[in-house]
Structure 1
Amino acid sequence: MDPETKFSVVRGTPTAEEVAALVGALVSRTATSGAPTPPPRMSAWVRSARPAGRPGSWRDSGLPR
């Protein structure tokens, strides 16, 4: 094997279509997407159960609006 060869067929004689399917499967498993996927958005229902994140917000939650 020369340094450029990534894999080789050890036994059997695969057709061109079989080799293409194997290469396609390997490439799809190792390919990275261009942009990272954004985190899933929280629904309003989930956000309502979480603190607001500002100082004193837990105290303000007991005050009348």
Structure 2
Amino acid sequence: MTIKVVRGNPTPEELAAALAVVRARAAAAADMPSGAPGPRDSWSDPARIAARPVPRPGPSAWARTYWPA
């Protein structure tokens, strides 16, 4: 694997930190079984959207839907 810096001029410390992250992610990916799904991202969890019930419209809800021009 080759890593190439395309822009900027990182210091040796910045480059070492970036490579440490890449190596840690690669090691974690190698430890996971190939058939198992990865950890689920909380942003894509449908339960996050429907965490609380949606209120039902009241008797005058139709009046709040009008937007005067």
Q: Smaller-chain TM-score range? A: 0.3 to 0.5
TM-score normalised over the length of structure 1: 0.40
TM-score normalised over the length of structure 2: 0.38
Highest Rg: 1 or 2? 1
